[in-house]
Amino acid sequence: MENEFIIKGNFYYCDEKRELVEKTGSYCIVRDGISEGLFDRIPKEYAGLPVRDYSAFLIIPGLIDLHTHAPQYTFRGLGMDMELLDWLNTYTFPEECKYSSLKYADSAYDIFVRALKNSYTTRAVIFGTIHAPATLLLMEKLERTGLITQVGKVNMDRNAPAYYVETTEKSICETEAFLKSAQKYLRTKPILTPRFIPSCSDKLLAGLGEIQQRTRLCVQSHLSENRSEIEWVRELCPDAAFYGDAYDRYGLFGNNCRTIMAHCVSSGDEETERMAHNGVFVAHCPASNMNLSSGAAPVRRYLERGIRVGLGTDVAAGSSLSVASEMVSAVQASKMRWRYVSQDKPLSLEDVFYMATRGGGEFFGQVGSFEKGFEFDALVIDDSGAESALKFNDRDRFLRSVYLEKECRLEAKYVRGSEIRLGA
């Protein structure tokens, strides 16, 4: 009976039309980590199952972080006066180089993993460093949390400091060894990770494309984040029609390859059409984009085109692992884009709640809802700390809790039906 139980409480999730569904005082039947759906009363056939009563709390699907960098958690909040390329050379590359030491990686990744486990995130897609041993150590630590993640050993063989770059051959060889060693984990899976086009030669991309063809692994990278970066890609890849085409030539841009591209702040029409055609996932990272002056991504246009969009915290360009904070930033950035850049309708909180749950969750399968057949990932939130003299209806109570996350408390957290032990 341990893997069969009932959750009682006030449920909020988005349907496939991105509309908020409220089911207060309802019961969710969970069997083998899968939701059997929400019910007003306990069906007779489930009457003997134990009930976990969270009637006083809000229950939402676990939040999905489609893009973050574990080794950068150490220097959150630094370099926010810089743009992307200077920031990488000043902060990122010197810090990531330190993970050649497993002793350093052990300490740093303990802090990152503990923070991720105790956050609202239930599933995440994560960059490591170029160091296979340290990235495997990260995977081992994540595996013990009960979270579900995909983790990548970073590939880069050009345009990086001499102290933090691989040869093409070593990058491919280390990736092959990393993938072989990573097969032992159940909840923590490897993902192919070319850092971005400026740091990956055509030969390296071709090698990763061959690995992808053979293994059918997912891919993560960066796309059209910063205008100077885009100009650099044009110089490096004159034969590519646009930034994304430089990946697509090697089978690393969706289609038969499940792919996440982070940012997409300045993707043009042709690139947008290719993303839609190939089924590329966009990881929208609004806080990072504002911190590094990259801009406000045209997310409304992506959603209307049918592109699958989720959210990413992008630590350390983003200063927090809070996907709830990214929801707020996404709404705010879209308002500024609407007011000063284009006539795109601003994103609503319902839009970004969908992106943080069902939208990003689709990368992992049937994830991000409480509907029948979805994996049961859930956050039980105590919003009593967000005090007010007003009395709120159920909908306002939920919407308010997103903006006031820091005044709320995570009462319980479930991933695929298993409760995560918080605090440790």
* Final residue of a structural domain among 343, 364, 385: 364
Residues 253 and 354 in one domain: yes
Residues 375 and 359 in one domain: no
pTM, full prediction? 0.97
Put residue 96 in one of left, alpha, beta given phi > 0 → left and psi -120 to 50 → alpha.
Answer: alpha
Give the mean pLDDT of 72-93.
95
Residues 303 and 415 in one domain: no
What integer best gives the mean pLDDT of the chain? 97
Residues 67 and 105 in one domain: yes
pLDDT tens for residues 213-269? 999 999 999 999 999 999 999 999 999 999 999 999 999 999 989 999 999 999 999
Residues 184 and 308 in one domain: yes
Residues 159 and 201 in one domain: yes
Residue 10, domain member (yes or no)? yes
Domain tally for the chain? 2
Q: What's the CATH code of the domain at 252?
A: 3.20.20.140
pLDDT value for 3: 85
- Measured in degrees and rounded to the nearest 5, phi and psi for residue 341 equal -120, -50
Residues 292 and 345 in one domain: yes
pLDDT tens for residues 397-406? 999 999 999 9
CA distances, 210 to each of 203, 214, 215, 250, 390 (Å):
11, 6, 9, 8, 60
Residue 270, domain member (yes or no)? yes
C-beta atoms surrounding 82 within 10 Å: 17
Residues 197 and 221 in one domain: yes
Confidence of residue 2 (pLDDT cuts 50, 70, 90): low
Residues 167 and 35 in one domain: no
Residue 35, domain member (yes or no)? yes
pLDDT value for 18: 94
Residue 276, domain member (yes or no)? yes
- Give the structural domain span for 383: 4-60+368-419
Residues 400 and 382 in one domain: yes
Q: What's the CATH code of the domain at 42?
A: 2.30.40.10
Nearest to 111 by CA among 152, 159, 164, 71: 71
Q: Give the single-character DSSP code of 254.
A: S
Joined together, the tokens standing for residue 219 give: 């891919």
Residue 424, domain member (yes or no)? no
Residues 279 and 160 in one domain: yes
Residues 10 and 79 in one domain: no
